[in-house]
Structure 1
């Protein structure tokens, strides 16, 4: 059925809740508190703690929440509410999902939380849970096109995505805690296949991407990273081709708990659920036949924050929004970034839109390491950008952005300290990052990062060369350092160079 439009309409008419914004997510397997801070478009988790309670353990047999899980969950929720209050959280939402929604004693459990904490609890319907999880994906991947799958402990939510538009959705009882006691591998596989095959609208999305959300599915990505010795352990937009994802999930699905205990990267507390999570993903892959699996670090909790945004705020580029936030916090002159990008743009006027976007992000971040000791600015900025909680950026783009800023400070992309970025890039991408970095290095040297100067200077191609034009009023800014930076850029571009200073 179609996703309800009421949530979207209500969200767009709300006044955005002031940050920090907190969510206590009472799931089938875990209870988690996340407190979000600035920036508003892509909130950063100021605090993130979970307790694996297993509320939904045995639900399919007993119909009730697990007694020990209930005790642990109540302890965690009481703690989380106290912490949120001490953090001056302006808006705290307690939301419960599949296990509480379906359990015979779910209402009793909710009433106990409300008595203990004085806070209201919102039990999400399956459709609401699916919608907010899809919003979470869109918060960090706004051009997502395909099917979002959010595997929780008790259920699997599937939603079709086409850019910012949410389409059909369904909630299936396929969480690892729900299917754990159905029988042997063959019985579980048949049950999963039956449920997935009954979702007719999935057939329309064959060949698109599967966006994977949920702790168990993210654990699959972590294990894959460990097995492949990935140089960058960041879940968001970590992508596997369908064939590789299918082979890897088949391998994980047939492992015993003892076998998984010996596998690098498997979290100890995921050893029971991981084979079942892998089995569900593999069966979805077999039916949906997506081109790839894109893992999303954002899900339901981020979706609740996204729902508070206006349509105008949602339309912002999450990468550039976060870069501007970093620049406001860390740069000497935050407004200089757009001016720097306009200054170097004539040399890169053939850049496709995706490259121009990374170039602009780099220009915005070009001054963010100024507080660091000069000998370590390049290395420090490389690490910060490689590991920053950006949205809407592929791993090679992240590495290219980091290497660009490294070059802006160090003057070369070939320094051994930049090796963590090299490993994610090909030779052409490394060359591009060096050229952009050297162009920004020239702009920063000429202007010292002060707004207004570069707007009156020009850096442009001229036949087989490049020309830096400095107006008479800024003639004194020319000097040996500017000459060297221009020469280094020209060499990287394989062009001649000239610096022209206007006469008074």
Structure 2
């Protein structure tokens, strides 16, 4: 049985998937996620931080070694918002080649959206169509459609890390910073509503990536993250709004201790929750289905066959 590996280098998180081809399709052998925040400060400086490059490359080297040891060969690796926005991205790519033996490919926002769609449609596609929301650290992708390829997609320069750095909230953020998060998110997401113009609203919204999965885990008070309980679960807009208020009233340290919270995401989760809520409002959804999969799974299907 063939094994393949895919790595997604995001603004906030580096994710690894090693999967095995079986009769029923691709089955995960190993999944890893580690927050290195490659994109910290990029919105302000336009450059990748040297320590963030070192931290990210160290994770890539470890992931690549694990994938090769598991018989998956060299992983296919893509880099998204931070790497494509930074003026010194070449420094990261050179270090990745030197230290990890990898050549990450920079994907555009549109391509990132297409890969996320491939994953979401495989798991949740059905009559009535989908709206897929991918809230990353540096960008947010929205796709709509009713088939294996999205009908329309939009990549927006807004994510949990970028919005947090722009607002620079106090700790705890409190009502004033939360209102500003919501305002900035609503303004940035307004163009996404045009994706629905002239078409019926899709039957289901699917939310992808760490902000959404963390909100689901915190809502369920998971003492230990459980992908099987998170993937396919639902979050209502009312739940997301209530979580925003609760999280905004806590310090970063207190948020980090909550059951279900990934500690390294605690400082950006309030901004991330605002992006999720305002996207739901802009697109007219009162609930979303949570996906624990994303670019890495779409990359696997795209490069190695959708049907496994």
Partner of 2:292: 297
Structure 1 residues 146 and 139, CA, compared in 2 at 3 Å: closer, same or farther?
closer
For each residue in 1:423-458, what CA deviation from the matched residue of structure 2 results, as whole angstroms up to 9, or x when unmatched?
xxxxxxxxxxxxxxxxxxxxxxxxxxxxxxxxxxxx
What is the alpha-carbon distance in structure 2 between the residues aligned to residue 158 and residue 176 of structure 1? 15
What is the alpha-carbon distance in structure 1 between the residues aligned to residue 144 and residue 24 of structure 2? 22
* Cα RMSD after superposing both structures: 2.6
Question: 1:160: Cα distance to partner?
Answer: 0.6
Counterparts of 1:92-111 in structure 2 under 5 Å?
Answer: 92-111=75-94
Question: 1:118: Cα distance to partner?
Answer: 3.6
Partner of 2:151: 167
SS in 2 for 1:47: strand
Say whether the 8 Å CA contact 2:227–2:292 is kept in structure 1: no
Structure 1 residues 243 and 42, CA, compared in 2 at 3 Å: closer, same or farther?
farther
Say whether the 8 Å CA contact 1:27–1:153 is kept in structure 2: yes
1:81 matches 2:64: yes
Partner of 2:172: none
Counterparts of 1:40-439 in structure 2 under 5 Å?
Answer: 42-90=25-73, 92-143=75-126, 145-183=129-167, 184=169, 185=177, 186-199=179-192, 200-202=194-196, 204=199, 206=201, 208-226=203-221, 234-253=229-248, 255-308=250-303, 313=307
Say whether the 8 Å CA contact 1:29–1:152 is kept in structure 2: yes
**Residue of structure 2 aligned with 1:30, choices 3, 8, 13:** 13
Mark the runs of 5 or more structure 2 residues left unpaired by the alignment.
170-176
SS in 2 for 1:212: strand
What is the alpha-carbon distance in structure 1 between the residues aligned to residue 85 and residue 102 of structure 2? 21
Say whether the 8 Å CA contact 1:30–1:50 is kept in structure 2: yes
Question: 1:256: Cα distance to partner?
Answer: 3.4
Structure 1 residues 42 and 310, CA, compared in 2 at 3 Å: closer, same or farther?
closer
Larger radius of gyration: 1
More helix by share: 1
Say whether the 8 Å CA contact 1:21–1:36 is kept in structure 2: yes
Structure 1 residues 41 and 126, CA, compared in 2 at 3 Å: closer, same or farther?
farther
Question: 1:266: Cα distance to partner?
Answer: 2.0
Structure 1 residues 254 and 171, CA, compared in 2 at 3 Å: closer, same or farther?
farther
Structure 1 residues 297 and 41, CA, compared in 2 at 3 Å: closer, same or farther?
farther
What is the alpha-carbon distance in structure 2 between the residues aligned to residue 131 and residue 232 of structure 1? 23
Higher relative contact order (CA 8 A, sep 6+): 2
Question: 1:291: Cα distance to partner?
Answer: 4.2
Mark the runs of 5 or more structure 1 residues left unpaired by the alignment.
1-17, 315-504
For each residue in 1:213-234, what CA deviation from the matched residue of structure 2 results, as whole angstroms up to 9, or x when unmatched?
001210000011128xxx9961
Say whether the 8 Å CA contact 2:48–2:88 is kept in structure 1: yes
Q: Which moved more, 1:22-31 or 1:233-242?
A: 233-242
Say whether the 8 Å CA contact 1:249–1:281 is kept in structure 2: no
Q: Provide the TM-score with structure 1 as the length reference.
A: 0.54
What is the alpha-carbon distance in structure 2 between the residues aligned to residue 310 and residue 266 of structure 1? 34
What is the alpha-carbon distance in structure 1 between the residues aligned to residue 228 and residue 20 of structure 2? 23
Q: Provide the TM-score with structure 2 as the length reference.
A: 0.85
What is the alpha-carbon distance in structure 2 between the residues aligned to residue 52 and residue 32 of structure 1? 9
Question: 1:304: Cα distance to partner?
Answer: 1.1
What is the alpha-carbon distance in structure 2 between the residues aligned to residue 245 and residue 163 of structure 1? 28
